[in-house]
């Protein structure tokens, strides 16, 4: 669907993803960067505690994470869910050993409710994997205003700068639900790979971990174990 259709929608309208359905698996399409992010996201996922343990992929889109759940991650039972609004997740309390929330929190108007739900379904000792966009001036200018107009950047209007996620706020929202976040790691595309992608000589661009988390950042959280809850 042409970019004009997307730009006529309000910013952060989930219908944009419907407009761009044909773009999900195109290596040089409008969602190419989401494929690059999926590789980096998979690197934070721990091996399953037992074969068949459920990994919940929240806002899974077209399932871009699935191809990377191989090797030591192949024992996960990958369950994807994609909702226009993150309401109550259809899983029991404390039931999932891994919950992945990749490139979704910056789209949610009600971040407190969303984080409460992610924590609710996570089992004690389970791992929450997050990547999102930081609420910084750099991110609003470089990754929203500018990047939307560059090849490989997000589609026009896909992000609302008002919803970008401050990591301290994220940590404060998860802490009362027993989830403690670890260190933040910033991500940026490899310049060499990006040039190769622009020349259509590479289909994938490596996302490099960097010290600055002012743009895209990753983190993981661990839910308090029952022993810690009762101590």
Which structural domains are found in the chain, ordered by start?
3-222 (3.40.50.150)
Of 228 and 204, the structure prediction assigns the larger pLDDT to 204
Q: Is residue 45 a contact partner of residue 66, using CB atoms and an 8 Å limit?
A: no
Two tokens at 34?
């989401």
Does the pLDDT at position 6 exceed 60?
no
Q: Does the predicted model carry a pTM greater than 0.85?
A: yes
The closest of 16, 24, 78 to 52, measured between CA atoms, is 78
Does the pLDDT at position 8 exceed 50?
yes
Does the pLDDT at position 19 exceed 80?
yes
Two tokens at 112?
């407190």
Neighbours of 70 (CB within 10 A): 9
- pLDDT bracket for residue 207 (50, 70, 90): very high
According to the model, what pLDDT value does residue 228 have?
Answer: 47
Neighbours of 105 (CB within 10 A): 23
Neighbours of 211 (CB within 10 A): 8
Find the range with the poorest average confidence among 8-17, 42-51, 79-88: 79-88
The SS3 of residue 134 is: coil
Q: Is residue 184 a contact partner of residue 210, using CB atoms and an 8 Å limit?
A: no
Does the pLDDT at position 55 exceed 80?
yes
According to the model, what pLDDT value does residue 226 have?
Answer: 53
Does the pLDDT at position 124 exceed 80?
yes
According to the model, what pLDDT value does residue 87 have?
Answer: 78
Find the range with the poorest average confidence among 21-35, 74-88, 105-119, 196-210: 74-88
Written in H, E and C, the secondary structure of 186-229 is EEEECHHHHHHHHCCCCCCCCEEEECCCCCEEEEEEEECCHHHH
The SS3 of residue 47 is: coil
Does the pLDDT at position 95 exceed 90?
yes
Distance (Å, rounded) from C-alpha 75 to C-alpha 47? 8
- pLDDT bracket for residue 18 (50, 70, 90): confident
- pLDDT bracket for residue 227 (50, 70, 90): very low
Q: Computed over its alpha carbons, how large is the radius of gyration of the chain? A: 17
CA distances from 27 to 22, 72, 217 (A): 11, 26, 23
Tokens 């994997």, located at residue: 129
Does the pLDDT at position 76 exceed 50?
yes
């Amino acid at each position: 669907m042409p970019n004009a259709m997307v730009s006529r929608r309000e910013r952060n309208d989930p219908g944009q993803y419907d407009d761009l359905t044909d773009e999900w698996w195109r290596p040089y399409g409008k969602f190419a960067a989401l494929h690059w992010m999926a590789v980096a996201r998979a690197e934070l996922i721990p091996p399953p505690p037992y074969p068949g343990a459920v990994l919940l992929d929240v806002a899974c889109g077209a399932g871009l994470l699935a191809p990377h759940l191989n090797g030591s991650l192949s024992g996960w039972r990958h369950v994807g869910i994609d909702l226009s609004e993150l309401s109550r997740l259809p899983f029991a309390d404390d039931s999932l050993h891994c919950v992945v929330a990749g490139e979704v929190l910056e789209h949610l108007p009600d971040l407190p409710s969303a984080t409460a739900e992610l924590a609710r379904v996570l089992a004690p000792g389970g791992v929450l994997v997050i990547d999102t966009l930081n609420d910084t001036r750099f991110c609003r200018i470089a990754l929203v205003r500018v990047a939307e107009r560059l090849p490989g950047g997000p589609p026009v209007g896909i992000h609302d700068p008002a919803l970008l996620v401050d990591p301290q706020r994220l940590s404060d929202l998860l802490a009362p639900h027993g989830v403690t976040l670890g260190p933040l790691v910033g991500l940026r595309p490899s310049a060499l790979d990006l040039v190769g992608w622009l020349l259509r000589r590479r289909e994938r661009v490596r996302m490099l971990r960097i010290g600055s988390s002012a743009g895209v950042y990753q983190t993981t959280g661990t839910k308090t174990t029952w022993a810690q809850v009762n101590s």
